[in-house]
Structure 1
């Protein structure tokens, strides 16, 4: 399906199966990694020499890749997936080398720049930490449930688990979680992402809701948290609810985008508790979202499955797209920020 807006374009050579996530590099405004169920991590330059973008590398894994992240630089990438291994990748030679392993699928990997740790989570209910400089395991921490998603900022790590469990760690003291919470969402969590300012995080669920939470356990801070409904459509007189698969905070404005099974991406101002914008519906479920480090591009990954009417859950290859939306000046700016100008 072609994109019609002048500031929206598709990257060439998309994955051939479901996209797990999309992640811009923290260091380059145009480097993007896309792990996929096709068994590859796809590395793109989202701008390229002609402004249309190009694929730089495709790194093969022997099973679907569930998560990937950048390390200390553009050429340091880590991954995990259904083969239970934690990998460091060499994009110049298109190779993946195992540096660790879990006892089940590696569902989430993230890198903390403050502590220079690689952190991995698994369906085996364990959290591992690694020192990438020596490729050595530095810690193993058992969790109460399967780990679905993780996010880290400053010295904070937030873990989203099965049965609506949330664990929060201070990475300077991993002896035990600093907080253990139950999600404010009523149904299974899909993803968690930390606010850029380190004050809190947002989570989404399979039942068309997003929760905005704050780390400070004090009564005043906790009174600010809220949950809202989204990604719902009336079809044939029936209110159809879609999962919210992806969230991404704007690195400059602190507003955030959500992507749902309805193929819609919306922008939200959490401080004002309002929707700022809703983009044109795409032809398949939103599988991943990521802003670049300047907040001037939003990467959107789409993949169809059950939400697209596939009764077997298979993903039609034509539904798999990596879309880049160029963000006009000020788009995504919150209402309070607009008033201050």
Structure 2
């Protein structure tokens, strides 16, 4: 069904029964959506007929998942510390190895044909997904703190850890980070996404801010970085600030979407430093975002949060009679509202 009667979006039937941790479109078909959840499952949905195609059961909450470029396999990691390869055709699971604490981030490097995982055990590990445990581990790289978020573009891997630390690697030489930075945001990192053109990345914080940063270290390029406030509500008592839980760049236009615990998704043009669109609020905080490979669809995962501001907002919705299902996954058609206002794309 479509929420609110809108014709440009699809609400997924049979959503997870616990928090949505990640959503990803297949790189070869915008009809396939991969979803990981705190209910210990990874689900593959077929959007054309709104059906659940496959379910992969794990032993604990799943915090991250990713596709490989061909779309036949997916990967997952979570609180049970195992790193898995999921065969989406046969529904077979292969364990690649483990961390010693929860796996928080899972990305696939097309250039290396390798899986990369980040963990609360303060390490990043590279895996050869063609091999089984224990031969699959390629290398392990110690981090200054627990890995909170991670993304990759081409040969550049960005790792955000506790303590507001940011490690930037060239994946062709993982012996040491190519750059080490401290986040310009004053509070903990809650989300991270790399620009599709490989020039930089955006980070979100638990304190309702997003920073836009660039890899090139010349003064001219670094002068372009900036940060801004978002996902906050003005009340007579002052600003209510919500965490920025999810970020996703449009693969064609280079604009990006942010999702927060205020239940809202906004689209931003970082070229002109303007907000392009804000969608109506969900009844629960937005926890995951993804654009399809051709940029015509956006998947939104909304699920409850125990953040005090989120609970307060849900109570207000309930009092107004607007309370809806807490956990939902919506796929929106997107178009002109994601195009930048400048000629940069």
Give the TM-score taking structure 2 as reference length: 0.92
Instruction: Decide whether the 8 Å contact of 1:288 with 1:301 is kept in 2.
Output: yes
Q: Point out the more displaced range, 14-23 or 67-76.
A: 67-76
| Structure 2 match to 1:321 | 328
For the residues of structure 1 that align with 2:313 and 2:78, how far apart are their CA atoms? 24
| Structure 2 match to 1:55 | 52
Is residue 26 from structure 1 mapped to residue 23 from structure 2 by the alignment?
A: no
Query: Which blocks of at least 5 consecutive residues in structure 2 are unaligned?
Result: 315-322
For the residues of structure 2 that align with 1:281 and 1:228, how far apart are their CA atoms? 20
What do you get for the CA RMSD once the two structures are aligned?
1.9
How far does the alpha carbon of each residue in 1:53-77 deviate from its partner, in whole angstroms, 9 at most, with x for none? 2211111001110000011321210
| Structure 2 match to 1:13 | 14
For the residues of structure 1 that align with 2:16 and 2:256, how far apart are their CA atoms? 26
For the residues of structure 2 that align with 1:280 and 1:103, how far apart are their CA atoms? 41
| C-alpha deviation, 1:78, in angstroms | 0.5
| Structure 2 match to 1:83 | 80
Instruction: Decide whether the 8 Å contact of 1:59 with 1:91 is kept in 2.
Output: no
Is residue 153 from structure 1 mapped to residue 153 from structure 2 by the alignment?
A: yes
For the residues of structure 2 that align with 1:244 and 1:47, how far apart are their CA atoms? 30
Aligned residues: 330
| Structure 2 match to 1:46 | 47
How far does the alpha carbon of each residue in 1:84-106 deviate from its partner, in whole angstroms, 9 at most, with x for none? 11001123343432111000001
Change (3 A) 1:272 1:286: same
| C-alpha deviation, 1:309, in angstroms | 4.3
How far does the alpha carbon of each residue in 1:175-234 deviate from its partner, in whole angstroms, 9 at most, with x for none? 100000001111000011100000000000000000000000111110000000000102
Is residue 336 from structure 1 mapped to residue 342 from structure 2 by the alignment?
A: yes
Is residue 308 from structure 1 mapped to residue 311 from structure 2 by the alignment?
A: yes
Instruction: Decide whether the 8 Å contact of 1:60 with 1:96 is kept in 2.
Output: no
SS in structure 2 of the partner of residue 145 of structure 1? coil
Is residue 132 from structure 1 mapped to residue 138 from structure 2 by the alignment?
A: no
Instruction: Decide whether the 8 Å contact of 2:65 with 2:76 is kept in 1.
Output: yes
Instruction: Decide whether the 8 Å contact of 2:77 with 2:103 is kept in 1.
Output: yes
| Structure 2 match to 1:197 | 197
For the residues of structure 1 that align with 2:24 and 2:4, how far apart are their CA atoms? 21
Matches within 5 A, 1:104-253: 104-135=101-132, 136-253=136-253
Runs of 4+ in structure 1 displaced over 6 angstroms? none
Instruction: Decide whether the 8 Å contact of 2:3 with 2:9 is kept in 1.
Output: no
Q: Point out the more displaced range, 231-240 or 296-305.
A: 231-240
